[in-house]
């Protein structure tokens, strides 16, 4: 028995290259754990920016917020919020489709999500052009562009991830099994995080 | 808690609904009222998160005890 296991070990060693396989939890796959840890770190990053926002607004306590004559386009940002929330629904539709083996639904959902996300980013950039103040105009301008710009950068990263997922979906890489569509599941989780962050940014910066 | 896209989407819906309520209250009343409501929601979320983590640790402890060999 020992010689057999040694023989098997040698056979395995012939095919094995590099360091040994890392330990993997039976309860969560490493890709999902990876995106969870990444999102936690990004939440801390946003937390730092929100702390700065609340410090400038509450502790410094300026005469008015936004300072006159600056004004924020709440309606346009509200419409943008609706667009981003819709994109969460479309990416969820895409994932539900592939869980049921519907590859057409997956492709449609991913394309729709990407288009909605790109529209959001386009409207955000257009808003920057027409706002009437820059990041150098008082602390308000600085924190506004910092917070919304940080979120915009996250949307851009999300669009890159969705691009990879969409291209792979059109190449038929994904299947109904849980391990067979992690390449869509992980970008989907990230996209939902981006959406949740925007809801918090919109409520805090534009509305309150 | 199962951490998959469906679980996170559930939180998108919850946060979206909470955000919609806070926006509506703020627009109908004053920003201060909206800020207080936001604070209430945040505290409720922290309490829920704390109780959830307590439950998870208790389940983990019970699972470990059931696996340990009895003397």
Sign of CA dihedral B47, B48, B53, B54: positive
The number of folded domains in chain A is: 1
Helix (H, G, I), strand (E, B) or coil at A120: helix
pLDDT band, very low/low/confident/very high, at B57 (cuts 50, 70, 90): confident
d(CA A52, CA B70): 54
Asked if A188 and B5 come within 8 Å (Cβ–Cβ), the reply is yes
The number of folded domains in chain B is: 1
pLDDT band, very low/low/confident/very high, at B15 (cuts 50, 70, 90): very high
Instruction: Indicate which CATH number applies to the domain containing A168.
Output: 1.20.120.80
Chain B hits for A192, Cβ within 8 Å: 5, 8-9, 11-12
- The domain containing residue B59 runs over which residues? 5-67
pLDDT band, very low/low/confident/very high, at A23 (cuts 50, 70, 90): confident
Q: What is the mean pLDDT of chain A?
A: 88
Is A5 part of a structural domain of the chain?
no
Helix (H, G, I), strand (E, B) or coil at A106: helix
Does residue B31 sit at the A interface (CB-CB below 8 Å)? yes
pLDDT band, very low/low/confident/very high, at A67 (cuts 50, 70, 90): confident
- The domain containing residue A129 runs over which residues? 22-207
Is A174 part of a structural domain of the chain?
yes
Asked if B23 and A185 come within 8 Å (Cβ–Cβ), the reply is no
Q: What is the pLDDT of residue B70?
A: 57
Asked if A192 and B38 come within 8 Å (Cβ–Cβ), the reply is no
pTM: 0.85
Q: What is the pLDDT of residue B9?
A: 95
d(CA B37, CA B31): 10
Is A56 part of a structural domain of the chain?
yes
3-state DSSP helix/strand/coil % of chain A, to nearest 5 = 75, 0, 25
Chain B hits for A185, Cβ within 8 Å: 4-5
């Amino acid at each position: 028995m020992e010689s057999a296991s040694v023989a098997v070990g040698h056979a395995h060693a012939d095919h094995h290259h590099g360091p040994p396989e890392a330990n993997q939890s039976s309860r969560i796959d490493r890709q999902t754990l990876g995106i969870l840890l990444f999102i936690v770190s990004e939440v801390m990053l946003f937390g730092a920016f929100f702390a700065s926002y609340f410090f400038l607004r509450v502790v410094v306590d300026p005469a008015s917020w936004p300072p006159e004559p600056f004004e924020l386009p709440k309606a346009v940002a509200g419409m943008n919020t609706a667009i981003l929330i819709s994109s969460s629904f479309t990416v969820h539709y895409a994932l539900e489709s592939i869980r049921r083996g519907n590859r057409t639904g997956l492709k449609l959902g991913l394309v729709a999500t990407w288009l909605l996300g790109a529209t959001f980013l386009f409207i955000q950039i257009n808003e920057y052009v027409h706002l009437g103040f820059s990041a150098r105009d008082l602390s308000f301008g600085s924190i506004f562009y910092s917070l919304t710009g940080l979120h915009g950068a996250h949307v851009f990263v999300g669009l890159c991830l969705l691009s990879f997922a969409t291209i792979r979906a059109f190449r038929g890489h994904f299947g109904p099994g849980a391990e067979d569509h992690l390449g869509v599941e992980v970008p989907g989780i990230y996209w939902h995080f981006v959406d949740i962050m925007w809801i918090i940014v919109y409520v805090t910066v534009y509305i309150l | 808690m199962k951490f998959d896209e469906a679980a996170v989407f559930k939180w998108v819906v919850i946060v979206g609904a909470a955000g919609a309520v806070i926006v509506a209250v703020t627009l109908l009343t004053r920003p201060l009222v909206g800020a207080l409501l936001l604070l209430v929601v945040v505290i409720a979320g922290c309490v829920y998160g704390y109780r959830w983590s307590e439950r998870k640790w208790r389940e983990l402890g019970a699972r470990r005890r059931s696996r340990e060999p009895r003397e």
